[in-house]
Chains A and B, each alone.
Chain A
Amino acid sequence: MSKDNQVLEEFTSKEYEHGWTVNLEADSAPKGLNEDIVRFISAKKNEPEWLLEWRLKAYRHWTTMKEPRWPNVTYPAINYQDIIYYSAPKQKVQPKSLEDVDPELIKTFEKLGISLTEQKRLTGVAVDAVIDSVSVATTFKEKLGELGIIFCSFSEAVREHPELVKKYLGSVVPPNDNYFAALNSAVFSDGSFCYIPKGVKCPMELSTYFRINAANTGQFERTLIVAEEASYVSYLEGCTAPMRDENQLHAAVVELYAMKDAEIKYSTVQNWYPGDKNGKGGIYNFVTKRGLCAGDHSKISWTQVETGSAITWKYPSCILKGDYSSGEFYSVAVTNNFQQADTGTKMIHIGKNSKSRVVSKGISAGKSQNSYRGQVHILKRAENARNFSQCDSLLMGDQCGAHTFPYIDVENKSAHVEHEATTSKIGEDQIFYCLQRGIDEEAAVALIVNGYAKEVLKQLPMEFAVEAQKLLALTLEGSVG
């Protein structure tokens, strides 16, 4: 056995850290999907009539659509009738404050390193915790409320701020946008809602932590962030799931809406269960994320560190409608074993002098396949639009694949579009250099990979960057090429 294969072999014995489950009593819908299930979910949440209608419309549209087959990933057909579309951890009373939250739930999140107890948190990060389909707790609500910031679960937003939800829901990702967005629109159960009023700079990081716990359950959450004129918010999202033999579907929708001079920074550290070393189990992460730079000089920035999921299908995008608006996409996508990722971004330039920047760093190891798919579209009215894209691939071992699919459509001659791409391997020379300085192989790989991904990692808020670095090292432990 060659040395490469040997170390790869070693790696495969590495286990997923968050692969435990807790016994939470759950309140679930029966398996399968039809109009009654949609009604069931809506009724469970005591939703207003308009939202039920919105869901049903999405459901009816979904039934006419076909699952997309263009991503560079393969998986057996999903039986949509074999999935539970609603599962909520049972709570005796609707929690009014943290004291009312089931201690078992608090423990669950503490196990993940997320404390829902406000006074225990050292840094100013407000958390909305979503388990299976339901938001269980949101911290720092009152403090944020003083500034007029709304940060709550989606269900609460529907109850307390129906006018805002009605106005913005589906305004960036319409229910019929794509197959998985339509599915989400029909059955979404909860998620986070965030509203930053005019001129307010949100003083702390807002964060949602998603956890799938129940078996055979799909998770379909929705996040909606609205930033009014000249406001600012930085938002973090983290996710984990137990180890299970079957594949679980996660089809989320995230919508960002930025008005004039507003800025939204959205960061994700995605660590869904990736399946075992033979490719069994793992999350199908089919997610639609899009931001609209609606006003002039608005800015939306996506940063993602993708290490988990059996399959990732995800293109956080920006519609640059406002003049001088700007969009950014920073991504590190790591695949190992049999993971498949088809991820990238779309930058749609409509506004004059709009600009976008794409930095994508793919890392492939094991027998995995890692694709970057990105579109830069400069529309006719987008005078002086600028785009810079850089797509780098790093290969470890000789059994993985890295692919790049850039699409560039330019309809205005004044546009400046740049695309750079590189492919490299972690060299034996680099490893030996580290070894000779007393740094062992695992630490060397972590050092080299973190260096490679630095441009993206430095975009993350401090607390997340440390977590992301550790995660990268853990995901790639031992897999040297």
Chain B
Amino acid sequence: MLRIKNLHARVEEKQILNGINLEVKPGEVHAIMGPNGSGKSTLASVLAGREDFEVTEGTVEFLGKDLLEMEPEDRAREGIFLAFQYPVEIPGVSTVNFMKTALNKIREYRGQDTLDAVSFLTLMKEKIKLVEIDPSLLSRSLNEGFSGGEKKRNEIFQMAMLEPKLAILDETDSGLDIDALRIVANGVNKLRTKDNATIVVTHYQRLLEYIVPDYVHVLYKGKIVKSGSKELALELEEKGYDWIKSEVEVA
């Protein structure tokens, strides 16, 4: 589904990604872990098409297409979803309105009919149940005055609505208490199918207790320095990132 080869990227003059290689297949969950400043969030942003980052080398193929050639909105329409670490506030625009606009833009791109009000509301009701979000939140201005947990839950709701092929969760666990974490993770798990894939970007092992990954990759200085199964996350938790750092330095 996603094939990243030798990806290098920088922001302004600072080189952040130094040759990432990663392959994600349908149905898989990959966790990207790493110390602060290792390039985790940059990788998420580059895949979503944020313009602040310049790709200097490498290729990314998504469902057989050259992802790096695509505009950010087209990447979304092709099925890439980024759950933001810091969801943005848009005053005066409700989540309902936002989702209706987004969903119809995506459907238009895919040559499907736009949804009328009734089918949209029916779909929304179904997803509200799935991710256990308070419906009153959805008619308020997007993310304005939301708590940290509400913002993250709203991201997962949006993910449920848009049904992406590849979801990238950028530090979705940051700022969440344990109950909120469980609800968010439950939502993500319910959305898993054999046809979609998830990349979970996180600093801590905690989230991975709830969203169980098939693979864990450790990012350090813009490179994947270690890959393994879910046990790698536990090992990391136990030994800390210094263990990886020293291992890399020795090598």
Contact residues of A with B, CB < 8 Å?
Answer: 3, 427-430, 432-441, 443, 447-448, 450-455
Contact A452 B76 (CB under 8 A): no
12 contacts between A and B (CB under 8 A): A429-B88, A430-B90, A432-B50, A434-B90, A436-B76, A438-B106, A438-B109, A438-B162, A447-B93, A451-B93, A452-B91, A453-B92
Bound Cα distance A436, B84 (Å): 10
Looking at the complex, which one of B48, B87, B141 makes contact with A451 (CB distance below 8 Å)?
B141
Bound Cα distance A458, B46 (Å): 39
Contact B90 A435 (CB under 8 A): no
Bound Cα distance A427, B52 (Å): 13
Looking at the complex, which one of B71, B91, B101 makes contact with A443 (CB distance below 8 Å)?
B101
Contact B93 A433 (CB under 8 A): no
Closest A residue to B52 by beta carbon equals A428
A451-B102 in contact given A436-B76, A437-B162 (Cβ < 8 Å): no
Contact code string B31-68 (vs A, CB < 8 Å = 1, else 0):
00000000000000000111100000000000000000
Bound Cα distance A432, B86 (Å): 12
Contact of B237 with A by CB under 8 A: no
Looking at the complex, which one of B76, B87, B141 makes contact with A435 (CB distance below 8 Å)?
B76
By a CB distance below 8 angstroms, the chain B residues around A441 are 73
A438-B102 in contact given A427-B88, A432-B50, A433-B87 (Cβ < 8 Å): yes
By a CB distance below 8 angstroms, the chain B residues around A432 are 50-51, 72, 88
Closest A residue to B93 by beta carbon equals A451
Contact of B77 with A by CB under 8 A: yes
Bound Cα distance A434, B93 (Å): 11
Contact of B158 with A by CB under 8 A: yes
What distance in Å separates the Cβ of B203 from its nearest Cβ neighbour in chain A?
Answer: 22
Bound Cα distance A452, B93 (Å): 8
By a CB distance below 8 angstroms, the chain A residues around B25 are none
What distance in Å separates the Cβ of A442 from its nearest Cβ neighbour in chain B?
Answer: 10
By a CB distance below 8 angstroms, the chain B residues around A438 are 73, 76-77, 102-103, 105-106, 109, 162
> Which secondary structure dominates where chain A touches chain B?
helix
Bound Cα distance A429, B72 (Å): 13
What distance in Å separates the Cβ of A46 from its nearest Cβ neighbour in chain B?
Answer: 51
Contact A433 B84 (CB under 8 A): yes
Contact code string B67-103 (vs A, CB < 8 Å = 1, else 0):
0000111011100011010011111110001110111
Bound Cα distance A428, B51 (Å): 10
Contact residues of B with A, CB < 8 Å?
Answer: 48-51, 71-73, 75-77, 81-82, 84, 87-93, 97-99, 101-103, 105-106, 109, 141, 158, 162
Bound Cα distance A430, B84 (Å): 12
What distance in Å separates the Cβ of B160 from its nearest Cβ neighbour in chain A?
Answer: 13
Contact A451 B92 (CB under 8 A): yes
By a CB distance below 8 angstroms, the chain B residues around A447 are 90, 93, 97-98, 101
By a CB distance below 8 angstroms, the chain B residues around A427 are 88
Looking at the complex, which one of B48, B93, B101, B103 makes contact with A436 (CB distance below 8 Å)?
B48
Closest B residue to A437 by beta carbon equals B102
Bound Cα distance A453, B91 (Å): 9
By a CB distance below 8 angstroms, the chain B residues around A452 are 91-92
By a CB distance below 8 angstroms, the chain B residues around A3 are 51
Contact A439 B92 (CB under 8 A): no
By a CB distance below 8 angstroms, the chain A residues around B97 are 447
Contact A448 B158 (CB under 8 A): no
Closest A residue to B103 by beta carbon equals A438
Contact B73 A435 (CB under 8 A): yes
If A434-B98, A448-B90 are given as contacts, then 6 extra A-B residue pairs at C-beta distance below 8 Å, sorted by A number, are A432-B72, A432-B88, A437-B102, A438-B73, A439-B102, A451-B91
By a CB distance below 8 angstroms, the chain A residues around B98 are 434, 437, 447
By a CB distance below 8 angstroms, the chain B residues around A450 are 92-93
Most buried by B among A3, A438, A439, A450: A438
